[in-house]
Structure 1
Amino acid sequence: MTETLTDTLIASMTEDPRGPVALVLRRRLLPVEGESGVIFPPTYADIGYSIDELADGTKVATIDSVGAQANRMEPLFKKARPGRPENPLSALVPHVEIVVGNDKVVDLLDVGHRLGDALVRCTELADEARAAFAALLRDGDATAIAKLAPTSLLFGAWDSRETQAKLPRIVQAVIRAWDVDILHRAAQYNPPIDYVAEGALAETSDKAQNDTRSAQGFRHAPAVWRDDARKEQVLGGVHVRGEIRRDVTINLVALRQIGGDRGPDLRAYVLGLALVAAADPGESFLRQGCLLTPDPAVPPVWDLVGRDGTRRPIRLNPDEAFRIAAAAAAAYGVVPGTRTVTFDKARAQGALDAKKDAKAAKKAKAAG
């Protein structure tokens, strides 16, 4: 029997130390071209695609990593751009904008390391962020972090250069493709004219010169599927024989570790944000050649996982997630205004100088 998320069930998720350990979602995705479509995974230095081979020979490709998914979910809460429709999700969180250099404005929701990022440490927020991380380390109190950057509680942060406080990811998502075949590609560039025949360039048999002309677009340039010059294959995406699946986990154990003066309200608020982030279908356009949508023929499957491993089917959609989150944000008293701070070049240079001095001192000590 599929259950709805009642107030009683939500309380068991946020307040019961022996309550469920996770809420998980499995959503099947399809290429917009259809089931037989070819998709392009991300390419990594030295390895190309990240593809694992299981014991039975099945190849599993990472289509979007945990970090990449977090960076796609967090901007769900951004304010609308000028001239665009309002984003109702933006009212769920406070906002911070950082002005850098020649009036470049960076939304904190776009900053990779979130509250622990170097960009934050070079603004007037530095002391507040340090104090917020210190309170978390000392008392487990996440109140200050929630007021500054609640999405840091959702997607994790590490204050690696100050307090060393680490926030685990409460929401974690990954997209994988199962049972894939690796494809390759080839191409041929043809210049608009024959530069030698038209007398625009002198004929040459020098291979280096001809290679340079090909590189600059003055000569035919074939791109075969095996690039012997670079000793690597020119990858052309993957064909998926199994399924493309987005797996999302809301870690309720980590959620219940969040403390503060108004712990129950804060945990309910963070859970509401987590539900919104998880229930949203996600960014469809992952990269060139990888445009995915949910499979309308296969409904998403939510399960509430108990401490003993039992699974209870849950009914949840984006509208219901937003209703829960909005009510929790109102109860917690979220002020969704925008705070603007300025990047301080002196702070940045001071951090660089301190690092340089520390390295010099360490080197001198080792030499002495």
Structure 2
Amino acid sequence: MTDILSLTDDIIHGWADDPRGPVALSLKQRLLPVEGEGAVFFPPTYADTRDGYAIDELSDGTIVVTVDSVGAQANRMEPLFKRAKADQPENPLAALVPQIDVAYGNEKTTSLLEAGHRLGDALIRSTDLQEQAQAAFRHYLDTGDADAIAKLAPTSLVFGAWDSRDTQAKLPRIVQSVIRAHDVDVLHRSAQYNPALDYTALGVFDETDKAKAERDAKSPLAQRGFVHVPSVNAPGGVIARGGIWRSVTINLVALRQLGGTNGKALRRYVLGLSLVAATEPQDGFLRQGCLLTPDAEAPADWQLVARTGKRQALALDADRALAYARDAAAAFGVGPDRRATFSPTKAKADVKAKG
């Protein structure tokens, strides 16, 4: 039996502090549809792809399909740190990061934790936080000091960000996650829409119009639901013969490259957030027809990967990650919560400035 490394704070500190330390933490986790082994589930669909899905065929003929991309996984993990709604229990993860809310429209708000490009998002450039974000990015570019970014939007350090429309600062992903299904069979489905009434008999249109519309799903009558509309050979989900696997990597090399006036505390803080993001259970509802849970018969397999390639099993779970993250956040000092307001004037100016 492989020995499992029990974690202490000193061991975890070393991942952030030791320049000769391990290169990564790696998780391999088997998932199952809630309906059970062999059940049909639905990957995301894309235009102009094989059978509608992101499918790759390996050299041996095995079919692999992407169930949730790296970007999609990051966008699911980041809101785990968002403050809970008023009618929900308190979220213990919310205290680990600044809560930045942007007001817009008629008393509506959105969280920076839901912005796809994070601190480099157009949302931030359209508020009075634009100057602070730009200054933080420029300071990072000029000095390598990421403290200001961590005080403003630390999850931009965890999940990566690219200020591609302004300073060009790039922050590499420290946490990367993807879900793929292996050895899949692709299914198709057909359906028939039947209108509630015979609208021809009621004089809404005549038989000629009806016949034309039923042969053209893009016709106005078909689009508005007044005639029979068949849907044939549409994507019907997949069955995974080789399992559904979530793979997570925490890049400790990229972590240790972060500098700052309080560099050691910064790196430990970002490491704590990364551990929480990687271990916190997800709700598994990826899209309609795709509700996944961990396989209880195949526990998550965390491995510590040394620069020599040697691997060591780890006893890492969400409770241990959160305990470390709380201490690291207290030592670094979480930035203040902020509330900004979306400015159409700033948004228009940003568009004009970039042509």
Using structure 2 for the length normalisation, give the TM-score: 0.94
More displaced 10-residue stretch of structure 1: 208-217 or 153-162: 208-217
CA distance in 1, matches of 2:128, 2:202: 63
Code of the aligned partner of 2:80: L
- Aligned partner of 1:14: which letter? A
How much has 1:119 moved relative to structure 2?
A: 1.2
Residue 198 of structure 1, CA deviation: 6.1
SS at match of 1:19: coil
Cα–Cα, structure 1 residues 189 and 206, in superposed 2: closer, same or farther, change >3 Å? closer
Q: CA 1:2–1:201 in structure 2 vs 1: closer, same or farther (change >3 Å)?
A: same
Which of residues 63, 66, 69 is equivalent to 2:70?
A: 66
- The verdict on how the C-alpha distance between 1:143 and 1:205 changes in structure 2, with shifts beyond 3 A counting, is closer
Distance 1:352 1:200 in 2: 46
Shift of residue 333, structure 1, vs aligned partner = 2.0
Aligned-partner SS, 2:38: coil
Out of 50-59 and 260-269, give the one that drifted further.
Answer: 260-269
SS of residue paired to 1:57: coil
Superposed counterparts of 1:130-209, under 5 Å: 130-197=134-201, 201-204=205-208, 207-209=211-213
> What's the CA shift string for 1:187-207, capped at 9, x where partnerless?
112223334456665333764
Is residue 2:353 matched to residue 1:349?
A: no
Question: Aligned with 1:258: secondary structure?
Answer: coil
Matches within 5 A, 1:353-364: 353-356=352-355
In the TM superposition, 1:166-315 aligns within 5 A as 166-197=170-201, 201-204=205-208, 207-210=211-214, 211=216, 212=219, 213-225=221-233, 234-315=234-315
Change (3 A) 1:36 1:136: same
The 8 Å contact of residues 172 and 249 in structure 1, kept in 2 or not, is answered as yes
Please provide the CA RMSD for this pair. 1.6
1:302 alignment partner, SS class: strand
Corresponding residue for 2:327?
A: 327
Structure 1 residues 125 and 60, CA, compared in 2 at 3 Å: closer, same or farther? same
Q: Percent identity?
A: 60
One-letter code aligned to 2:229: A
Q: Secondary structure at the match of 1:176?
A: strand
2:86: which partner in 1? 82
CA 1:352–1:219: 2 relative to 1, 3 Å: closer
Aligned equivalents of 1:123, 1:206: Cα separation in 2? 52
Spell out, residue by residue over 1:31-64, the C-alpha distance to the aligned partner (whole angstroms, 9 max, x if none): 0010111111111121120010001100000000
- Distance in 2 (CA, whole Å) between partners of 1:198 and 1:136 is 69
Aligned twin of 1:229:
none
1:125 is aligned to 129
Identify which of 20, 31, 38 aligns with 1:29. Answer: 31
Q: How many residues align?
A: 347
Distance change >3 Å, CA 221–CA 344, structure 1 → 2: closer
Distance 1:161 1:197 in 2: 57
SS at match of 1:34: coil
1:117 to 1:222, Cα distance in 2 relative to 1, 3 A: same
CA contact (8 A) 2:38 2:239 kept: yes
Shifted more, 79-88 versus 211-220: the winner is 211-220
What CA distance in whole angstroms lies between the structure 1 residues aligned with 2:165 and 2:341?
20
> Are the equivalent residues in 2 in contact too, given 1:72–1:283 (CA < 8 A)?
no
Shift of 1:105: 0.9
Does structure 2 conserve the Cα–Cα contact (< 8 Å) formed by 1:281 and 1:294?
Answer: no
Residues 196 and 176 of structure 1, relative CA distance in 2, 3 Å threshold: same
Q: Note the residue ranges of structure 2 that are not aligned, 5 or more in a row.
A: none
- Going from structure 1 to structure 2, the CA distance change for 1:179 and 1:339 (only over 3 Å counts) comes to same
The Cα offsets for residues 95-133 of structure 1, whole Å up to 9 and x where unpaired, read as 111112333211000001000111111211111111111
Q: Which moved more, 1:51-60 or 1:158-167?
A: 158-167
CA displacement 1:271-326 (0-9 Å, x = unmatched): 11100000112231000110000001110000000001000110011111111111
Q: 2:114 aligns with which of 93, 96, 110?
A: 110
Looking at structure 2, the residues matched to 163 and 104 of structure 1 have their Cα atoms a distance apart, in angstroms, of: 29
Aligned position for 1:97: 101
